A and B are shown apart, each in its own frame.
Chain A
Amino acid sequence: MKPPSVAALARSHRAERVVTALIGLLALLAGATALVVGQGWLGSFRAVRPVLDPIALDTLRNWQTYARVGAVVAGVLLLVLGLLLAARTLRPERHPDLALDRSVGSGLVVTASAIAEAIAVDAEQVDGVSRARATVVGDPEEPALRLSVWLHEGTRLKDVWRELDGSVLTRARESLGVDTLPTAVRVEMGTAERQRVR
């Protein structure tokens, strides 16, 4: 499992990639097998058999009930799996709210957008940062932060970093009352002209 700060870098595409790769592999193997059989490499007798083999059909007819039940079950399974995959692909990323006070009878919840807004504004105050965007990602039990910062041209990353971690992230952790907040930072350097001192 990826550490939460690495997982917070971007929406995970693992399910989509795995399923697409599997189906691609199956299709490749099926096509290759059909070509190999047609070439006669698996026997010249097999190459001239019809695609819908009468022997296979006979076997199915002998086991008709089982075949039918199996087909219906397979059909329903495919339907469910296909819909699950489509739903998973369409699902947007979760932005959990953070509960600061979990005691019974009272509750203080900070919305994800409020936290994000506050941290982004704080980060933009740092010298050298021209723009900052923050998003809260992860689960309600294990929230994580994704912080994108755009730096002015000529800014040294190491200098900015010290202040970002020292003040912005520390303040975020303090105000949320957590010891650690897994954070994924995406830095874009050299994006804006350094503002001239007027």
Chain B
Amino acid sequence: MRVFVRILSLLLGLALAAAGALLALEVGWTWARPVDGPLLVPWPAWRDRLAGLTWQDTEVRITAWVVAGAGLVLLLVALTARRKDVELLDPTPGVTVRTSPRSLARIVGTRVRAEENVSGASVTATARKVRVRARSGLESEEQLRPRLQEVVRTTLEDLPLTRRPRVSVVVDSPRDRS
């Protein structure tokens, strides 16, 4: 998303520059040579077209929707173009440490998979929440879940995180009583 916002802002910058240049050129040209007609852009035709349209016309409405939609997309892209880092405590003043959510998920996943009777696990992690979905063939959810929750909690406590994420563990097991 950060790459995307950079591309967008490059395109917007160039578009603004082009629009500004055309505006200055056309106005200047018409001022200097009033009878020669437009220089680069057929703006008299555009002016007549706009004068013929009212705010209620379908064309105007569609354009307005498109412009509003594009504006919303730009706004959303700009707002979501942030790094999703997981904060770790500063070990010394002047040093900032971060890790990635994927790294956190890897650590938790390895620990969970190393537990007994866990045949597989998938972990999604963010700075605020860690969600574990484990599979087991031998133990039921009631038995395994508290153990896994404890394991995940200990693993997270061992890391110098600034914020302790909430932990949610779900176990899929054929031994669960339906």
Seen from chain A, the residues whose Cβ lies within 8 Å of a Cβ on chain B are 3-6, 8-10, 13, 15-21, 23-32, 34-35, 37-38, 40, 46-52, 54, 57, 68, 71-72, 74-90, 153-154, 156-158, 161, 165, 169, 180-191
Contacts and interface: CB of A to CB of B under 8 A. Distances in A.
Contacts of A9: 83, 85, 96, 98
| Most A C-beta atoms less than 10 A away, residue of B8, B67, B95 | B95
A152 to B, nearest CB: 11
Main secondary structure of the interface of A (DSSP, over half): helix
Contact of B51 (A25, A31, A50, A184): A50
A89 B6 contact: yes
A34 B60 contact: yes
Closest A-B pairs by Cβ, 8 of them: A78-B20, A31-B68, A75-B24, A27-B71, A24-B74, A82-B17, A82-B16, A85-B13
B74 A82 contact: no
A161 B91 CA distance: 8
A106 B89 CA distance: 41
A83 B17 contact: yes
Contact of A27 (B16, B47, B55, B74): B74
B143 interface: no
A32 B63 CA distance: 11
A186 B100 CA distance: 8
B39 interface: no
B106 interface: yes
Interface in B75-123: 75-79, 81, 83, 85, 88, 91-92, 94-100, 103-104, 106-107, 110
Interface residues of B, number: 71
A169 B96 CA distance: 13
B75 A25 contact: yes
Contacts of B95: 5, 165, 169, 182-185
B71 A6 contact: no
A52 B31 contact: no
Given A35-B61, A189-B107, A191-B103, 14 more contacts: A6-B96, A9-B98, A16-B8, A25-B71, A27-B74, A28-B75, A38-B61, A50-B51, A54-B51, A71-B24, A71-B27, A76-B24, A188-B103, A191-B106
Given A21-B78, A25-B75, A191-B106, A81 B50 contact: no
Given A68-B31, A89-B6, A31 B53 contact: no
A75 B27 contact: yes
A23 B12 contact: yes
Contacts of A49: 54-55
Given A20-B74, A34-B55, A50-B53, A153 B68 contact: no
| Most B C-beta atoms less than 10 A away, residue of A40, A169, A189 | A189
| Most B C-beta atoms less than 10 A away, residue of A17, A20, A50 | A20
Given A24-B72, A24-B78, A89-B13, A5 B21 contact: no
Contacts of A57: 51
B23 A78 contact: yes
Contact of A20 (B5, B31, B66, B99): B5
Contact of A28 (B20, B56, B72, B99): B72
B97 A187 contact: yes
Given A169-B95, A188-B99, A79 B24 contact: yes
Nearest to B96: A5
Contact of B83 (A10, A25, A40, A89): A10
